[in-house]
Structure 1
Amino acid sequence: MHQVWTDRWRWNGDGDAPTFSPSVLVTYDGADVGQGGAPQARCHSFVENGRIRFLPDCTHELAGETVPLPTLLGGT
């Protein structure tokens, strides 16, 4: 899960089906960085109409997939 500060992106103002633009790019240390160093991990996505479209350059198992945004803070 990543935080997005919307002052850096455009947001459609829809809390139920948000769209942010441009893309969201998050880089972080790889999962096994403590065991000799892993390459930098990458999550690159678009949030469109309440769905996350993970781009193929992601380094995780959701690369190339589109999934619904998770429900947060006790929502239904």
Structure 2
Amino acid sequence: MKLTVETVRIKDLQFGESTSLRDGVLYVSKEDILAFAVGEPCFDTLKIDIARPGDSTRIINVVDVVQP
């Protein structure tokens, strides 16, 4: 088996029913992300949003909100 590395141009990122790439749009399943992270005992609640360049938002390092 030969490993090949490819570059894929992503035009947009959106939430979808399943994680997939179609026509340059990366669809990410919010439910899959939450199901994966729910097993982590350090999170009391989880909220997932998409932040795009130019959006008015504040993104902080998780270390700032989780006790070491």
TM range (shorter): under 0.3
| TM-score of the pair, normalised by structure 2 | 0.24
Greater strand content: 1
| TM-score of the pair, normalised by structure 1 | 0.23
Greater helix content: 2
Q: Radius of gyration: which is bigger? A: 2
